[in-house]
Every structure is written in C-alpha cells, then in structure tokens.
C-alpha cells in the first residue's frame, strides 16, 4: 500500500551549490563583518540591572518573558507564512529563498547575537537594544521550523485538491484561505508548540548575555534561572522551574489544547473520528453566547469585508507595464546598493579572517569534525525513540490527552537551567563532559522531531488506518508500507530543524559556567562560546562561518535530496 508517485510542478529541491548559494553566503559574511565593524562603537563597559532571586518577583518576571516570547512568535508566524508561501509559489524566487533559508537556519544563534547586540547598542539606547536583540534571538529559535513545516505542507498538497481549486477558479487569496492554510494548519500548530519550546530553551541566553566587559541583561524568567545557576542557588532554580511549569501548563490548557481541538476539523478524513481531541476551554468558548455574538457580529463581517476588498483590488489592478518599468529601475538601484554593501562588509570580514592564525584555523576544523560527530550521535538516538513515541501519541487521541501536555512541558523546560547541575555530577566520570554535551544537544534536538512525528501521525486520514486493518497489514509490514511512508515528509522536516537545533545547542553544550567554574570540551560550539566571552571577533567569525558552511553542505548533500524524495514519492495522493 505504498503511496503512489505523482508529478508536482513545484521546485526541484535536489540542488547543488549554485551562484545563489555563493551570493547569499557572501552576503551573510558581509553582514556579519559590517556588524562587527559597527559593534566596535558600542560602549566598552555595560552593566545591566541586578536580577533579584526573591520568589516575589517571579510573577512579574514570568509576564515579561511571556511578552517577549509572544512578540517573537507573532513575528515568526508572519515571517514563516509569507516566506514559505513565496518560496512554494514562485519558481524564480525559490532559487534564492531556499538557499537563504538553509543558510539562515544554519547560522548559530548565539554566535551572531553579540554582533547584533553590540551593533544595536551603538545606535540605540541600551535597554531598547537589549530588548530588540532578545526578541530577535527568540525569533531565530522559533521561525525556521515553522517555515519548513509550512513550506512542506504547501508542496505536498494532494493533486486532487489542487485540481478542485482550479475548477472553482479560486483566486490566490481564496486558494490560500480555503486550501493552503487549512491543509497546513495541523503542522503549523504542532510546530508552534515546538517554537515556544525552542524559545524557552534559549530564553536564558536571550535575557543575560556577556561579551567581554559588557554585561547585558533583562529581568525575566530566563535571567532569573541563569543567575540562580551561576550562583549555584538550587532553591532559586527550583522556584524558577516551578513558575515556568505553571506558565507552560496554563498555556497548554488555555492556548494549545484549544487550538489542537479546533485543528481536528482540517484532517483529510472520509470517516468520522470518535476519538477527536478535546479541550474544556475550547468547549467553554464554543458554548459561550458572548463568543457567538463576537463571531457573528465582528469576526465574520470583518472576514467577509476583507475577502471583498481583496477581490476588488484584484479586479481593479492597474496595468503592469509602467509598474514593471518602475520595478526595473528600483531593482537596479537596490541591486547596486546591495552590491556595494556586500563588497564593503566582505572586505571588513576578510580583514578579520586574516587575523586568525593557522593554529586557530586548525582548531576550528578539528572542532567542526568533533561537533559533527556529536550532532550525528544525538540525531540517531533521537530518531530511535521519537518515531515510535510520536506515532503512539499521534494515532491514539486518548493517549495524546495524557502524553501531549507532558511532552509540551518537558520540551519547554530549558535544559540549560539544569545542565550546569547535571554537568557537575558527570564531569568526574570518564568522558562525562562529552556525554553531557550529547545529552544537551538531544535536549535541543529531540522535540523538533517528536512534534513533527506527532503532527504527521495526526494528519494520516482515519480511512487509511481502516484500510490497513482490512488488509491485515500489521507489525513491521505496517511500518514499512504505511506508517513510515506517511511520516516521511514530516521526518525530513523535523530532521532538518533538529540538526540545526543540535548545532545551535552545541554552543551551550560544550561550554558551561557553574558556581564561577568554566567547563568546556573540544568542539565548534566551545570555540564560538569561548571567543564570544573573550571578545575575540576574528575567531568568532571563523568558527561561525565554518559551522554555517558545514550545516549548509549537510543540507545540500543529504536533507534536500531526501526532501525531493518525499515530495515525489510520499504524498497523500
């Protein structure tokens, strides 16, 4: 019962390195080099506000952190929908957008934060610069998995649904509203939960960051937990984790569970599902007469007015000749400006890279190879347990009602808060630091895969399950011809974001501080973290570019080929 191979007139994802990759990579190098040059004008000494470890401040800190997470998530969601839609619907744009997404996803978050933070500090007041940098860091931990999930949904819409949209002559907005967004909704919601979990993981780094003598910090749960870990205050760590747990449970019950119950309507089922997910808060909202009036008198009229406005704009579109001419002039001007900026930034970046001695480049190469082995080990172990557990949760709604909140809670608790204590217990063992580093990489890897597997298993139509039962496909044969082919696109999406998460987590996994003691092991993450702490920008740039190049090559040679296979052979057609 293998899903049939169909033709899809979309993008060819099996790509080699092209001029677009080289140009984009050069642009990233130039941007970092320009930022480093601007960062030199930042204040030499910065001292942030004191972080209180009193339990009384935790409600205020929780509200501040949740506000930053919400701002970053809304920005991530808007970016993901626009970016993924553009890449999936424009063959020409995809030639630039897909390589750019690969590179952006591969840039280690914690290595470019000092450049961004110091650059903003040079032109903005310190508090505003720190807030913007914090939101940007959380955004980069949330956006990529959302974008990959949304893009994967758009490129795997069944052919019959596309043909139906063409028969009804839906315009681009109605096609987006009635076909594309509903089809991708389940993946978006599950990856939204993963995005929040990823945001909590990097919250500690987002709210306290040290660059040489500059100490940037913001009051919040992340800074509270990091300060408690730095002082070795176990009592404060427990209070912070308890507060974080309450916030996570509240969000699960009031936000994510209602969204999961609502998203069940978007499954491609031909039969009724008696075990649909439920939510008490969703039931309260649906039974509320006030919410019914809001939907009837506000939401529906506004949606209809917006649809009508879009339709009128499409009918009254001006002639494109003059617009095209203006666009050509604008494109030439912007291209010239971008080329000048890339040339200047690239020249500054080269000036930094030539300052790295040969021994430093050897250290970077050895660190990249070591971290690559750790990432591979973390991903292999993660795949071994997330596939069976994710399928069990995604195909059994009764089990999901119990395990999904626990998975959401476990994914959201930042392992960086417990890692120093865990590391202190393992450091005396043989290979303890390496084992601890792989464990923390898994903490930054496994949830991306688990939530994508759950989303994929949840999206499998119930009639396919019944068909497999009628054909008596059981055991390994069920996995081989039914479950794994159905999950394959989600596994590739999860693996891409998981491997990127593991590379990012290496920066905090290979370099840790606890009770005034610094512990580090050989690896690219340790090189980036150590050079950041010492303010060694040339080595920081070298380590960052080496990591970016390695991740991009892995994506090109492995993940993109598998993505193409998923698009061609494993679609719900």
- End-to-end, the C-alpha distance of the chain in Å comes to 12
Which residues are CB-contacts of 297 (< 8 A; sequence separation ≥ 6)?
A: none
| Distances 74 to 178, 192, 253 between C-alpha atoms, Å | 22, 10, 20
pLDDT at position 362: 92
Instruction: Report the C-alpha gap between 485 and 566 in whole angstroms.
Output: 8
User: Which residue spans within 365-504 are E strands per DSSP?
Assistant: none
Superfamily of structural domain 58-278+357-569: MetI-like (1.10.3720.10)
pLDDT at position 3: 36
Domain boundaries, the chain: 58-278+357-569, 284-316
Minimal CA–CA distance to 390: which of 484, 502, 514, 529?
484
Instruction: Report the C-alpha gap between 351 and 507 in whole angstroms.
Output: 25
Minimal CA–CA distance to 257: which of 274, 275, 279, 276?
279
Q: Do 96 and 24 form a contact (C-beta atoms < 8 A)?
A: yes
User: Can you give the pTM of this predicted structure?
Assistant: 0.72
pLDDT at position 518: 72
In degrees rounded to 5, what are phi and psi of residue 534? -90, -5
Q: Which residues of the chain have pLDDT under 70?
A: 1-48, 106, 108-115, 117-118, 122, 209-215, 269-276, 314-339, 341-342, 344-345, 408, 412-432, 444, 513-517, 567, 570-573
Condensed to tens digits (0 to 9), the pLDDT of residues 164-198 reads 888 888 878 888 888 899 888 888 988 898 888 77
Condensed to tens digits (0 to 9), the pLDDT of residues 511-545 reads 776 656 677 788 888 888 888 777 787 888 888 88
pLDDT at position 431: 62
């Amino acid at each position: 019962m293998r899903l049939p191979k169909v033709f899809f007139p979309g993008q060819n994802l099996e790509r080699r390195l092209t001029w677009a990759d080289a140009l984009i990579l050069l642009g990233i190098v130039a941007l970092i080099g320009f930022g480093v040059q601007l960062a030199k004008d930042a204040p030499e000494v910065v001292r942030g506000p004191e972080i209180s470890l009193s339990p009384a401040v935790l409600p205020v800190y929780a509200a501040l952190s949740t506000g930053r997470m919400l701002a970053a998530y809304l920005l991530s969601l808007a970016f993901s929908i626009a970016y993924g839609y553009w890449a999936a619907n424009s063959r020409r744009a995809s030639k630039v957008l897909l390589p750019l997404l690969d590179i952006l996803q591969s840039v280690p978050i914690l290595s470019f934060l000092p450049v961004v933070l110091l650059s903003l500090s040079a032109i903005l007041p310190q508090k505003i610069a720190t807030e913007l940098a914090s939101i940007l860091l959380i955004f980069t931990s949330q956006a990529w998995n959302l974008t990959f999930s949304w893009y994967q949904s758009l490129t795997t819409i069944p052919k019959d649904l596309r043909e139906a949209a063409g028969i009804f002559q839906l315009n681009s907005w109605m096609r987006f509203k009635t076909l594309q967004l509903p089809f991708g909704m389940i993946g978006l919601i599950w990856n939204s939960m993963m995005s929040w979990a990823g945001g909590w993981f990097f919250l500690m780094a987002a709210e306290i960051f040290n660059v040489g003598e500059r100490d940037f910090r913001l009051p919040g749960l992340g800074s509270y937990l990091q300060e408690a870990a730095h002082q070795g205050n176990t009592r404060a760590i427990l209070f912070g984790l308890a507060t974080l747990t309450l916030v996570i449970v509240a969000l699960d019950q009031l936000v994510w569970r209602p969204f999961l119950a609502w998203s069940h309507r978007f499954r491609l089922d031909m039969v009724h599902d008696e075990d649909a997910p439920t939510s008490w808060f969703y039931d309260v909202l649906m039974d509320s007469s006030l919410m019914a009036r809001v939907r009837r008198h506000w939401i529906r009229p506004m949606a209809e007015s917006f649809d009508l406005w879009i339709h009128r704009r499409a009918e009254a579109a001006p002639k494109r000749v003059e617009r095209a001419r203006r666009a050509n002039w604008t494109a030439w001007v912007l291209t010239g400006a971008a080329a000048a900026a890339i040339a200047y930034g690239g020249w500054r970046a080269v000036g930094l890279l030539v300052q790295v001695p040969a021994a430093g480049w050897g250290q970077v190469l050895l660190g990249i190879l070591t971290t690559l082995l750790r990432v591979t080990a973390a991903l292999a172990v993660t795949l071994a347990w997330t596939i069976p557990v994710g399928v069990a949760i995604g195909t059994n709604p009764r089990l999901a009602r119990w395990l999904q909140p626990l998975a959401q809670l476990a994914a959201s608790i930042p392992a960086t808060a417990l890692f120093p204590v865990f590391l202190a217990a393992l450091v005396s063992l043989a290979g303890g630091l390496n084992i601890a580093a792989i464990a923390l990489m898994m903490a930054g890897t496994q949830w991306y895969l688990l939530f994508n597997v759950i989303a994929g298993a949840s999206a499998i139509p119930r009639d396919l399950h019944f068909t497999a039962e009628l054909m008596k496909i059981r055991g390994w044969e069920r996995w081989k011809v039914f479950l794994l082919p159905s999950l394959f696109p989600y596994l590739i999406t999860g693996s891409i974001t998981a491997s990127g998460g593991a590379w990012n987590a290496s920066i905090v996994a290979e370099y840790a501080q606890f009770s005034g003691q610094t512990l580090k092991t050989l690896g690219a993450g340790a090189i980036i973290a150590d050079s950041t702490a010492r303010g060694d920008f040339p080595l920081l740039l070298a380590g960052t570019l080496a990591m970016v190049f390695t991740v991009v090559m892995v994506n090109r040679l492995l993940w993109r080929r598998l993505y193409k296979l998923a698009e061609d052979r494993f679609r719900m057609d």
